[in-house]
Structure formats: C-alpha cells, structure tokens
Amino acid sequence: MQAHHKNNPKKIVLAFSGGLDTSVILKWLQLRYDAEIVTFTADLGQGDEVEVAREKAISLGVKPHNVYIEDLRDELVTSFAAPMFRANAAYEGHYLMGTPIARPLVAKRQIEIARAIGADAVAHGATGKGNDQLRFELAYYALAPDVRVIAPWREWELTGRSQLIAFADEHGLPVAKDKRGAPPYSSDANLLHVSCEGKALEDPWSAPEPDAWTRTVSPEEAPDRPIWLEIDFERGDPVALDGVRLPGAAMLEQLNRLGAENGIGRLDIVDTRYVGLKCRGLFETPGGTIWQIAHRAIESITLDRGEAHLKDELMPRYAELVYNGYWFSPEREMLQALIDQSQKRVTGRVRLRLYKGNVIVEGRQSPHTLYSQQLATFEEGGDYDQHDATGFVRINALRLRLLGRVREAMSAV
C-alpha cells in the first residue's frame, strides 16, 4: 500500500458495523474525501447485525462489490481466543477480554483487504476516549507501517450523540427510534462475549437493570437441577465436549449455550482503560468462563509447580498487553512462545458440574498427570519419607531464626 499522508486517499477500507456511529462515519468519509469507500464487516458471532450492515452499506451508496463481509468465527477462536486462554488471561484479575481479543483480528483482515484491493487508507469508528482506537491502530501499524489511518472521532467536529443524530438527519440517514430517546446501552457482541456500558451503569453504585443482561439467564432463574459435562483438552486447547470432537467455534457455541442456560459468566466490574479512565461495564462470557475454569483444572495436574507459578506471575503482563492493543507486539509473541511451551503436556479430561451460576470442578485426569495418589495419601508408603522433612524445615527456617534473634536483642535494649 502506498501512503498519501499529504493528499486525499484514493481508496479507504472502513471497519463497518452498520450502527449509527459507523453509518455517520461512512457518510462523513464520502463527503470529506474524494475517495472510493470500501466497507468491511467481520462476522464474529454477533448475530443478525452482519446482514443489516451489508444492506446499510449499499443503501448509503457503497457499491456491492466494495462491501466485504467475512465469517471469522473460527479464526477468532482458534488463532486469537485459544492462545489467550492458554495463558489464563484475565485483565485486572477478572475480565476475560472478549472485545480486546477480537479487535486485532478485525484490523488484520482489514489490512489484508486493503493490500489486496490497493487501498491506501483504513478507518475505524473508535472514539478518542477508549481502548479500541489503540487496538485497531497498533495492529494497523504493526502490519502495515506506512498505512494512512483515519479516525473520524478524533478529526471531525461532532462531539456527542445528539450531534451524530443531527448529522444523520441532515443527510437523510435512517436513525432507529430507540436511538432518539435516552442514550441506549453501548454494547459489543461476538462469539466470546457481550459487553454493556452506559446509561445507569455510569454510576458504579447503581445495580444493573435486568434488561442490561442479554446473553445469560440470571442464576436465580437457572434450572434447579445441575448438569454435568466433560471437556477434553489437547496441548492446552479444548477439543471435545462429552466425547464429541468439535472445531473451535462450534465448541465455544456449545459452551455458550450450556453456560447461558445455567446463569454462568456474568461479570460487573470497573476496569481501567489504557488512556487512564475508569469505566464500569457488564460482561457476559458464559462459554469462556467454563473454558477457563476447566483449563486451570487440567493444568493443576499436568503443570509442574514452577511452570504453573511462573505462568501466574506472567499472566497480568500478558493480559495487559492484550487489553491495551499490543497483540502483534514482540513482547506478546515472546510470552506466547513461553506459554505454548508450557502446554505440551496439558492434555486430558475435566468433569464439571454447572449449577445456578457456578462452574464446579468434580474431576480431572490426564495421561501426563503429575499427581501421585501414592505420594498424596495420608497412609505410609511411597517414596516420601516424612523424616526427611525435618532437615528441610530447619534449613528453610534458618534465616527466620537469625532474624528472630536480632529482633529479640533489639527489643531487650
């Protein structure tokens, strides 16, 4: 791609959802630049929005051959979510990062389309206050260092939702009735999760309204009887559910269904954006919650203590890199190589019970297990001689005894 930083771009690939923001952005690009506009919509499992985006783009004047819609669900799971789950990554200890892990995939495909059709610019609809601008643009520049990036929210004079609606009305863009009243929830959905922000949620003391949750039943309304399931792992990735092998997206779809029916995966948190703002959000990640708990369970019998503890030390750094948009950074790739090395023996089966919002581990087994029932038993036997522990304890207590004597001497003065 040739960069035209001083001149108008000739062809722009816009990440397009079909919502109010990106529809206004599409029209703004058409008015601002004498350029061919191409829209790209990734099917990440968000549902009916995909075909709506196609119709919206064409209705706004984009030529049908310039409307790109691609199913990236399997790639999302196998090439992005799975590596992240091998790390047990959770930003600030809780957030399973359904949105952060999808953005670099969209950006990657956007750049690939731009290269293929000779586009010299890409555009996105992320605001200047959030994390997504970084997730898109750090990926763009990592993959195409000289690409021109257009970020309308940082360039135009529209400063808020009311001005967006006024612009839409002025230029004949359809605005849904539910967009004209009180601000709706801001949400993002894909196969891994659905997020919800805004409205009353901006007060961190206000309890969420029931309609803020859209993917899962409440734990109170979940069935009164538990269900059991078994997940098989190979080299750290889930490959079979109840003995039936499933590809990545199909596996996550089934886990989502089971989790959603049993009230699993709801999260209400305040997290810290990379730009420094704190934001309260609701996240529903039913399948991902089951996945992570099962993965930790199989790791518990297949990872050595040193491996497991080192992974847990590195996890916050890995999660921060993903959250902040550094998926294509060398440091994330270095950490990924270390994590993937640790997963070579993470093969086996986990049995779980799902009940009213809880994922309960009830069994785990592996051909590579490090668990020895002979050593763990309270009965005598095996290679463990309890007398050996006397010297072990005394050696480890040496520095504490020396310090204790010094403290005693100081207190006696």
Closest Cα partner for 235 from 137, 302, 168, 322?
Answer: 302
211 is catalytic: no
186 is catalytic: yes
Do residues 352 and 229 touch, judged by C-beta distance below 8 A? yes
269's CB contacts (< 8 A; 6+ apart) are 92, 94, 95, 280, 281, 283
CA 226/CA 146 separation, integer angstroms: 55
Largest CA distance in the chain: 88
CA 363/CA 349 separation, integer angstroms: 8
* Tokens describing residue 280: 């309260």
CA 61/CA 35 separation, integer angstroms: 13
206 is catalytic: no
Pick the catalytic residue from 43, 132, 188, 232: 132
What number of other Cβ atoms are within 10 A of residue 407's Cβ? 10
Q: Please give the helix or strand (H or E) that residue 41 lies within, else none.
A: strand 36-43
| Residue pointed to by tokens 């997940």 | 231
Pick the catalytic residue from 103, 266, 280, 332: 103
Pick the catalytic residue from 32, 186, 300, 351: 186
329 is catalytic: no
Return the axis-axis angle of helices 286-302 and 248-261, rounded to nearest 10°: 110
Catalytic residues: 21, 103, 132, 186
